[in-house]
Amino acid sequence: MPVFSYQCKQCGFSFEELVKRYDEEVPCPKCGAISERTWSGCMYSQTGKPPKKCSGNCATCPGCH
């Protein structure tokens, strides 16, 4: 299960959450509104080569392998 970074659309609170699926809706722990996933840091491929255009969503990405 991956840990993703999120930011609440309503109150702006930033937090990390352990989720079962990448597309799971995550509520804000402060106000309960649905939060939006944020991308932080660099993305790397499994082969060690830098990806050309990595979205971080490996389920729909054809390019890293």
* Tens-digit pLDDT profile for residues 22-56: 788 999 999 999 999 887 555 555 666 655 555 56
Q: How many CA atoms, within 13 angstroms, populate the side-chain half-sphere of residue 36?
A: 7
pTM across the whole model: 0.58
The residue-averaged pLDDT of 9-27 equals: 89
pLDDT of 20 over the 80 cut: yes
Write the DSSP assignment of 27-57 as a string of letters: B-TTT-PBEEEE--S----TTSSPPSS--S-
pLDDT of 63 over the 60 cut: no
Question: % helix / strand / coil in the chain, to the nearest 5?
Answer: 0, 25, 75
Domain span including residue 56: 1-65
What pLDDT band is residue 64 in, cutting at 50, 70 and 90? Answer: low
pLDDT score recorded for residue 57:
63
Domain count, the chain: 1
